[in-house]
Structure 1
Amino acid sequence: MEFRIAREKDLERMCEITAQAKDGLKNLGLDQWQKGYPSREIWENDIKNQCTYVAEEDGIILGIFAFQTTPDISYYEIEGEWISAGPYAAMHRVCVAEEAKGKGVAGKMFAHGFRMAETLGFSSVRIDTHPGNIPMQRALGKAGFERCGEIHLAGGPEKGALRIGFEKIL
């Protein structure tokens, strides 16, 4: 599997995978990603800022994730405790194409995010997900993330929504 920064030509496929992920969350009875996030505009901005990566195999995009190297305002307050007080990278908007689910794509994306974070000198990686998103929580545990507590999203269409914060020490 290869990883590269998302490009303009990837946008349609990225939106297709996002729509699949939104449908999957809806089918789980979750309100996560049901209020317009992530949107085409978010992905366009990510492409412009070169902060989103695609996981590609044989020329087909199988997964997407955003990689953030600045502090996330949603992580400033937590009901619980982050493992590390040091600098961290964050992964957001992680989604896998429906046809690639169960094939280890998410785990490979996490591992790539960990390598990037280490290369940039970060001591940990943080991520969050909906309390009811059990498949993602399983994937996070498998990748070595530890549950740290509850956060509330600080902005966007899901502002105020409860999420579970996870961290992995590198």
Structure 2
Amino acid sequence: MELTFRKANKEDIEVIWEILQQAIARRKAEGSKQWQDGYPNPQVIEKDIDSNAGYVLVNDGKVVGYCALFINDEPAYSNIEGNWLSNGDFVVFHRVAISENYLGKGLAKKMMSFIEEFAINNNIQSIKADTNFDNAGMLAIFNKLGYKFCGEVTFRGTSRKAFEKLLILKN
């Protein structure tokens, strides 16, 4: 499997939306309330791409995963019920989704390693993220990859678990 991680472009929107629709359906089938309110949607993807935040995981030329990456740009994180591990610059990721055809191959963890690489390349040692209380898959990934539970944040009126991982920057 030859994986690359690159910025998404307008030509990727259709396949990204397909991947996100699959993830939305998976959340629903698992009984999760996450992503069951019309978010994310194609306009969110377009906004991600327009702001240079959309990224795709590509296998042999085919888009197999999506996420949005932002630097110091998550207003909800300033109102955490709890405490972050750090107060400096951070990368935040949202909308992590892997194609239905590629589940169970460790690609979500691989995408997370690309996100860590993105942070290190930008000289940032903190990655912050959140997920729904009932997203067992993402909670397991956070646990496996050394993310620490920091408290709760609120998005669109819903409380979510917030996590942070501190990275070691290379000199």
TM-score, with normalisation over the residues of structure 2? 0.93
Hey, what's the Cα distance between the residues in 1 that align with 2:44 and 2:7?
15
Hey, what's the Cα distance between the residues in 1 that align with 2:72 and 2:88?
12
1:75-154 pair list within 5 angstroms: 75-153=77-155
Does residue 1:164 correspond to 2:169, yes or no? no
After superposition, the CA RMSD in angstroms is: 1.0
Does residue 1:22 correspond to 2:24, yes or no? yes
1:80: Cα distance to partner?
A: 1.7
Post-superposition, which runs of at least 4 consecutive aligned residues in structure 1 deviate over 6 A? none
1:50 counterpart SS class: coil
1:70: Cα distance to partner?
A: 2.6
TM-score, with normalisation over the residues of structure 1? 0.93
Hey, what's the Cα distance between the residues in 2 that align with 1:30 and 1:56?
27
1:76 counterpart SS class: helix
Which residue of structure 1 aligns with residue 50 of structure 2? Answer: 48
1:75 counterpart SS class: helix
Hey, what's the Cα distance between the residues in 2 that align with 1:73 and 1:144?
24
Does residue 1:34 correspond to 2:24, yes or no? no
Does structure 2 retain, via aligned residues, the 8 Å contact 1:4–1:55?
A: yes
Count of residue pairs the alignment pairs up = 165
Which residue of structure 2 aligns with residue 58 of structure 1? Answer: 60
Spell out, residue by residue over 1:77-102, the C-alpha distance to the aligned partner (whole angstroms, 9 max, x if none). 22221111121110111011111111
2:79 counterpart SS class: coil
Percent identical among aligned pairs is 36
Hey, what's the Cα distance between the residues in 2 that align with 1:144 and 1:31?
25
What code does the residue aligned with 1:2 have? T
Spell out, residue by residue over 1:97-145, the C-alpha distance to the aligned partner (whole angstroms, 9 max, x if none). 1111111111111111111111112120001000011111001222221
Which blocks of at least 5 consecutive residues in structure 1 are unaligned?
A: 154-158
1:71: Cα distance to partner?
A: 3.1
Hey, what's the Cα distance between the residues in 2 that align with 1:70 and 1:168?
15
